[in-house]
Amino acid sequence: MKPRVAFICVHNSCRSQMAEAISKELAKDTYDAFSAGTETKPKINQDAVRIIKDIYNVDMNETQHSKLIDDLPEIDIVITMGCNVECPYLPSIHREDWGLDDPSGLPDEAFYQTAEIIRQKVLNLKHRIETNTLK
């Protein structure tokens, strides 16, 4: 069974949603991706939706929604997005923080940069899972 990876952020509306979408595109053979938060938003950040649609041709409005950590299945790997002291706790066998700045309210370039950082980190995580070098 593939490990389950949860991308966690307080509001589950931007970075964690981007990480879920990018993971489903680039790492679906290696792990099952989820995202969640301790609070939800009525809809995903529409700038993030637009940028992911532009890069990956995935419409997060169609494939994802903002959800709570209580809605997740049992998780093996928790990735927090960089929400510092507010990051919620979720039991797992591995946890790491990606320390991403929230691009919300910033120009598109910030979203493209965030998407690229997430892409690199997703590929790195995929490699570490495949080679059993998760540390």
How many Å apart are CA 31 and CA 10, to the nearest integer?
22
* CATH (domain of 103): 3.40.50.2300
Query: Total domain count for the chain?
Result: 1
Q: Is residue 44 part of a domain?
A: yes
Tell me, what's the pLDDT at 69?
A: 93
Which two three-digit tokens encode residue 23? 């993971």
What's the predicted TM-score (pTM) here? 0.96
Q: When comparing pLDDT for 40 and 118, which is higher?
A: 118
Q: How confident is the model over 54-109, as pLDDT tens digits? A: 999 999 999 999 999 999 999 999 999 987 656 667 889 999 999 999 999 999 99
Q: When comparing pLDDT for 85 and 53, which is higher?
A: 53
Q: Is residue 21 part of a domain?
A: yes
Tell me, what's the pLDDT at 135?
A: 75
Q: Is residue 135 part of a domain?
A: no
Parent domain of 55:
4-130
Burial class from Cβ neighbours inside 10 Å (0-12, 13-18, 19+) for residue 105 reads exposed
How many Å apart are CA 132 and CA 128, to the nearest integer?
6
